[in-house]
Structure 1
Amino acid sequence: MIRRPLRPLARVLSARAEGKDPNLIEAEERAARLRALHRAERARAETRLLLLGIVFILGFTTVAGRMALMSAGTPVEPRAGAGGEPIVAQRADIVDRNGAILATNIVTASLYAQPLEMIDPARAATALSEIFPDLDAGALLHRFTDGRKFVWIKRTISPEQRQLVHDLGEPGLLFGPRETRLYPNGAVLAHVLGGASFGREGVHAAEVIGVAGVERFEDARLRDPARVAEPLRLSIDLPAQIAMEDVLAAGMKEMGAKGAVGILMEADTGQIRALASLPDFDPNLRPPLPTEGDPADSPLYNRAAQGRYELGSTFKIFAVAEALDMGKVTPRTLIDTSGPMRWGRFTIRDFHDYGPRLTVQDVIVQSSNIGAARIALTMGGEAQQKFLRRLGLMDALPLEISEVAKAPPLYPKRWSELTTMTVAYGHGLAVSPLHLATAYASVANGGLKITPTIIASDRKPTEADRVVSEDTSEKVRSMMRDVVTRGTARKADVPGYEVGGKTGTADKPMPHGGYARDKTIGTFAGVFPASDPRYVMVIALDEPSNKINGASLRTAGWTAAPVFANALRRIAPIMGLRPDARPEDDVDLLYTLAVNE
């Protein structure tokens, strides 16, 4: 910028020529320079004021807009931000095969305290102990007054309890939103579902995780955010399950048993329609795991999946099925049943003296231990082990219940000739009732090994899964039907349903060796209809005793078999099975085929 000169030469020379004072020219130029400077400063000030006004207008407009939005919205209590991953509580529902809810999530509340904000800790502790009887007022007061800033009181509370706490008016008692698992049917299906609990916990959320049963086995799938809206559909039929549990509870009480198991399985697919273990529990109020004593005495113990028992004469079916399939015997082959049968210092006896010989068919019908042992000896221990392994009786089952993997069958490391004989009639090899149901389905359905499942699916075995021939399966079913019509399981017969099966009574092993003579496991494994089985049902009672005319009867024919019949009468109509209207004295075709061979 070129500054204006105060004494311009041209004007000074002109003034001198005219006789004027040159100093006046300098004064005029100085005044002009000041006027120009003032105009520039004014322009800058006006610009600054304009910009400042614009800023104030924008600021007040923003504040006014924000206040308008807040006044139009719903008031929400501000929360302090928290670092780390958010806790996700969502979990997919579990439903039965027909879509009935078995497990779901509900929104509830948690209760905690901030002692430093409490007005009257003593009054609050006393009032809380009245609302929640399981809380101790003295312990609460100690926690409220020992300097803590945060105290958990209850992880979940009901709406009624929340209102009672709210009515106390104590500002230091606060609530947090919480999702929890709900089992709307209570104890029904307890051992299948298992239960859930909390993992990671915060004030405003908690992680729901499975702790047992299918909840634990399928935990990752149930917690998958991409599949939360997709329920896990089980193969269980809820009405059939309720009927099974009702019948088992009544039978357990009538027979004075300490425990009971009921399993209903589709013979051709392995899908389980009902699975019950008594005593049971409510998964909404799951009790703690036992820390001492026999785990089997806890209601948490799943006898169907975890219980490993020597299931007695139900195993004779497998010895005969193997011998028939190998061509070693036919149903009419005579077996030496003279006894007692001795092996070293051990003696094998029958429950009754059945005479010197029985046919293979009658070995099953009369349930001869000696006959089953001699049949097993004709095949040898190695062949027996291979056959039992093909049936799945020597390995843990691949079932979708977490406890199953922890209960593989128990058998001796050294498979002696004595083991071969005793396993043939159900001693020396301990398996779960689920193993037994699976093996019976595989033998009776035409000879195809099934894989048990509680997940609804369309999976069926193929010819590659064959364990025995169709002819063998047909002959075995004939024998099982004969057991019910004229053998040890007459009390399992239900007119119109053509029941076939086998009883099994096994003395319970004692903790320090040997067997108890007055404690047994009574089992009946049945199929129906025997000519073309659709279902397998296993009923087992732990230490049953049926008192008739003052006598205590412990055999499965008097204990498990009648409970089976009661269960079938209740369940068959639920499953849509109508009784066959044919007269009961019609000739059984399968039995005729077997006898004429």
Structure 2
Amino acid sequence: MIRTPLRPLARILRARETGENPDAIEAENRAQRHAAIQERARGSARTRLFFMSCAFALAFGTVGAKMGVLAASQPSEPRVQTSGAQIISQRADITDRHGRVLATNLLTHSLYAHPQQMVEPERAARELVRIFPDLKLERMLKDFTGKRTFVWIKKKISPEQMQAVHDIGEPGLLFGPREMRLYPNGHIAAHVLGGATFGKEDVASAEVVGVAGVEKAFDQWLRDPANDGAPLTLSLDLTVQAAMEEVLSNGMKVMNAKGATGVLMEVKTGEIVAMASLPDFDPNDRPRPLLKGDPSDSPLFNRAVQGQYELGSTFKIFPVAQAIDLGLIGPATMINTQSPMRIGKYLINDFHNYGGKLSVADIIAKSSNVGTVRIAQLLGPERQRDFLESLGLFEPTPIEMSEGPTGKPLVPQRWPAVTSATVAFGHGLAASPLHLAAAYATIANDGNRVRPTLVHGRSMRAGEPVLSPSAAHTAMQLLRKVVTHGTARQANVEGYEVAGKTGTADKPRPTGGYYKDKNVTTFASAFPVSAPQYVLVVTLDEPSVGLAGGGESRTAGTTVAPVAGELIRRVAPLLGLRPTTETQLPMVERPLPDRLRLVSN
């Protein structure tokens, strides 16, 4: 750069000629030089400030844009990270149909030890045994003073227990956070829920997995992070479930029964509103399964689903309804009920002597074995077998429980005349109370097949027709007469139009034959009969009730019927049913061919 001199010679000489001061020229040039220097400095500063402003604007703009994108986006990235974790600890809640919690998660802690870090292992062992009485002192001392570097002490502890361990002051005792499964209602709906335990686990977390019931059946769904924490909504009603369990428990005590079970189902949807099996258990402290003996002796045994019982006279409505549908009989048709009846080398008797003839309506009301067998003979073994199969009595129910597939009915491989006869009055074919509830719901549903479900609001395909609506209606009227004038009068609850059938069946011996003093009593019902909404099945295992005049009774009419009546009286208002004044609906009577009239007579 060429700089302008402060005292240019030409100007100095000219100034001297004109008498000007040369120093003024120097001052002027110096001022111009300083002004030029300052102008260049200001330009450079402006350039630096411009570029710095652009850099800051770009940086803050990038951060702001990223924050805006994160705020407006769905939190998909955290779900992906969670699903890829080695141990998935989050598990969805289970609720009843009204959103009340049946199973949820609780944050708790595990307790473990690093013996090599302990200062006073003997004292720590004694203090732990004092806090946890189920621990063995000898085992603790061996683990803490040996060569082990890690010892599990408790997989889950309460806050109070955690504080007590803290107070020991032992650095080798450590805690790990984890979730545990909590059932806030204790025993209520224990068999439906099943229970859960820990799968994969480490000191910082544990995987909760289902071991039975809906917890196991829906295990993958409950652990799936893609469900975004949505609860599994069951069809159960917690209030109705609690009432059922209370009534059944009291009924067991009064009737001196070994066990009891109940199933309450919606007729149209097949949704199970309540299902109980007693004795039960607390899923928060699930007992160990039996390794030998009768499985039904364990409180884990679900009698409603797994129990396979000969359900006695509750089956009698099936051949009668089928024969009515085929036009073979009507409610007023007279049937030969002369007892005993011989089939091959076997004799079939009635509990009472009903004389030579009964109408079809009285055969159901009085529960005549002989009359029911006569009607089954009109059907023939093949048609009878096909009808029972169409009711779902030959296959496990599609219930959403891990025990569902194990509840396969015990069906005779051969179906000769004697089998057809005994099955007609509920012997020789063993099914669960849930099977019976679904079959009765099919009749109550205008003859359309009903399949039970435990999921609320699930879209179910329409059931295929099994009976005509008129035959189903007539069958319901026959069952209503059982309650008003027959063997189930103790189940008649005024205002709720209960229709049902009692059934008493001797229990089979494991070695063959039947016990003479042990039986299973069942009452299967639907209400209100004018527009059936609910089906209820109650079963008592080995009941016995004392009679006023001495002795004891084991029949369904005196044992299970009053228990079922009390249960309907308790739950009907909870279901929103109002007592009504009953109007007797007429039965549908079909004309019969003369040939069949002769056969039936």
Give the TM-score, by structure 2 length. 0.83
Q: Does 1:526 align with 2:525?
A: yes
Q: C-alpha offsets along residues 529-549 of structure 1, whole Å, 9 cap, x if unaligned?
A: 012100000110000111122
Equivalent residue number for residue 86 of structure 1: 86
| Matched AA of 2:528 | P
Residue 376 of structure 2: aligned partner: 376
* 2:484 counterpart SS class: helix
Q: How far did residue 282 of structure 1 move? A: 0.2
Paired position in structure 1 for 2:142:
142
Q: Secondary structure at the match of 1:302?
A: coil
- Displacement of 1:121: 1.5
Instruction: Return closer, same or farther for 1:479/1:508 CA change in 2, 3 Å cut-off.
Output: same
- 1:247 and 1:529 map into 2 onto residues whose CA distance is 20
- Equivalent residue number for residue 254 of structure 2: 254
- The one-letter code sitting in structure 2 at the alignment partner of 1:164 is A
In the TM superposition, 1:339-418 aligns within 5 A as 339-418=339-418
Aligned-partner Cα distance in 1 for 2:339–2:216:
50
Q: Residues 152-301 of structure 1: matches in 2 within 5 Å?
A: 152-301=152-301
* Distance in 1, Cα, partners of 2:459 & 2:499: 25
Q: Offset of 1:345 from its aligned partner?
A: 2.7
Residue segments in structure 2 that go unaligned for 5+ positions in a row: 1-83, 593-601
Q: Judge conservation of contact 1:91–1:228 (CA < 8 Å) in 2.
A: no
1:449-488 equivalences in 2 (<5 Å): 449-457=449-457, 459=459, 462=462, 465-488=464-487
Cα distance change of structure 1 residues 194 and 228 upon mapping to structure 2, 3 Å threshold: farther
Aligned position for 1:334:
334
Q: Give the residue type in structure 2 aligned to 1:301.
A: F
Shift of 1:596: 10
Q: Which amino acid aligns with 1:590?
A: P
> Secondary structure of 1:589's partner?
coil
Q: Deviations over 1:169-226 (max 9, x none)?
A: 0111100001010000000000000000011111101110000000000111101011
**C-alpha separation in 1, matches of 2:402 and 2:229:** 23
Task: Find the aligned partners of 1:272 and 1:459 in 2 and give their Cα distance.
Answer: 14
Q: Does 1:113 align with 2:113?
A: yes
Q: Which residue of 2 aligns with 1:81?
A: none
Which of the residues 582, 586, 596 maps onto 1:590?
Answer: 586
Report the more deviating stretch, 131-140 or 279-288: 131-140
SS of the equivalent of 1:523 reads strand
Check if 1:571 corresponds to 2:567: no
User: 2:338 aligned with 1:307, yes or no?
Assistant: no
Aligned to 2:546: 547
Report the counterpart of residue 5 of structure 1 in structure 2.
none
Change (3 A) 1:359 1:595: farther
1:343 CA drift (Å): 2.1
In the TM superposition, residue 424 of structure 1 has moved relative to its aligned partner by: 0.4
Whether the 8 Å CA contact 2:443–2:467 is kept in 1: the answer is yes
SS at 1:153's partner residue?
A: strand
Query: Matches of 2:129 and 2:319 in 1, distance apart?
Result: 63
In the alignment, residue 474 of structure 1 is paired with which amino acid?
H
Q: Using structure 1 for the length normalisation, give the TM-score.
A: 0.83
User: Take 2:144 and 2:285, find their aligned partners in 1: how far apart are those partners?
Assistant: 27
596 and 489 in structure 1: CA distance in 2 versus 1, 3 angstrom threshold:
farther
What SS does the aligned partner of 1:559 have?
helix
CA RMSD of aligned residues (A): 1.4
After superposition, the C-alpha distances for 1:369-404 in whole angstroms (9 at most, x for unaligned) are 111111111111111111111100110111001101
Secondary structure in 2 matching 1:273? strand
Once residues 482 and 254 of structure 1 are traced to their aligned partners in structure 2, the CA distance between those partners, rounded to angstroms, is 27
Q: Deviations over 1:219-259 (max 9, x none)?
A: 11101011141100001010000000000000010000010
Task: Tell me if structure 2 keeps the 8 A contact 1:120–1:170.
Answer: yes
Question: Would you say the 8 A contact 1:96–1:236 is kept in 2?
Answer: yes
Report the AA paired with residue 498 of structure 2.
V
Could you list the per-position Cα deviations for residues 143-177 of structure 1 after superposition, in whole angstroms to 9, with x for gaps in the alignment? 22221100000000000000001100011110000
Q: Do 1:372 and 1:425's aligned partners in 2 also have CA atoms closer than 8 Å?
A: yes
In structure 1, the partner of 2:489 is: 490
State the 1:474 CA deviation: 0.7
| Cα distance in structure 2, aligned partners of 1:355 and 1:459 | 50
Amino acid at match of 2:165: V
Question: Residue 424 of structure 1 corresponds to which residue in structure 2?
Answer: 424
State the shift of 1:344 in Å: 2.7
Aligned to 1:96: 96
- Partners of 1:88 and 1:109 in 2: CA distance: 16
**What residue identity is the alignment partner of 2:175?**
F
| Partner residue in 2 for 1:504 | 503
Partner of residue 448, structure 1: 448
Secondary structure at the aligned position of 2:586 is classed as helix
**Alpha carbons of structure 1 residues 461 and 590: separation in structure 2 relative to 1, 3 Å:** farther
- For 2:364 and 2:311, the matched residues in 1 are separated by 15
Letter of the structure 2 residue corresponding to residue 472 of structure 1? A
1:364 partner SS: helix
SS at structure 2 position matched to 1:103: strand
Counterpart amino acid of residue 515 in structure 2: A
Q: Counterpart in 1 of 2:125?
A: 125
Q: CA separation of 1:112/1:590 partners in 2, compared to 1, >3 Å: closer, same or farther? A: farther
Q: Which amino acid aligns with 1:490?
A: R
Query: Aligned partners of 1:326 and 1:131: how far apart in 2?
Result: 72
Residue 498 of structure 1 aligns with an amino acid whose one-letter code is E
> Is residue 315–residue 425 contact of structure 1 (8 Å, CA) maintained in 2?
yes
Determine the C-alpha separation between the residues in 1 that align with 2:210 and 2:189.
15
Distance 1:425 1:517 in 2: 18
Q: Distance in 2 between matches of 1:85 and 1:102?
A: 27
User: CA offsets, 1:305-359, max 9 Å, x none?
Assistant: 0000000000001111111112221112211111111223322111001111111
Rounded Cα–Cα distance in structure 2 between residues aligned with 1:127 and 1:363: 72
Contact 2:330 2:590 in 1 (8 A): no
| 1:514 partnered with 2:510 | no
Contact 1:268–1:461 (CA<8 Å) still a contact in 2? no
- Take 2:175 and 2:348, find their aligned partners in 1: how far apart are those partners? 68
Distance 1:323 1:461, change over 3 A: farther
Structure 1 runs (4+) greater than 2 angstroms displaced: 458-462, 593-597
Aligned-partner residue type, residue 242 of structure 2: I
**How far apart, in 2, do the equivalents of 1:476 and 1:382 lie?**
21
Contact 1:523–1:556, Cα closer than 8 Å, also in 2 = yes
Question: How many positions carry a matched residue from both structures?
Answer: 508
Q: Distance in 2 between matches of 1:595 and 1:321?
A: 13
Contact kept, 8 Å, 2:327 with 2:590, in 1: the verdict is no
Query: Which residue does 1:48 correspond to in 2?
Result: none
SS in 2 for 1:557: helix
What do the CA deviations read for 1:446-505 (whole angstroms, capped 9, x no partner)?
A: 11101100100253553x611100000110011000000000000000010111000000
**Aligned-partner residue type, residue 394 of structure 1:** F
Amino acid of the residue matched to residue 156 of structure 1? K
Q: Is the 8 A contact 1:222 1:228 kept in 2?
A: no
Please state whether the residue corresponding to 1:558 is helix, strand or coil.
Answer: helix
Secondary structure, aligned partner of 2:558: coil
- Pairing of 1:32-51 with structure 2 (within 5 A): none
After superposition, the C-alpha distances for 1:392-437 in whole angstroms (9 at most, x for unaligned) are 0110111001101112000221111111110000000000000000
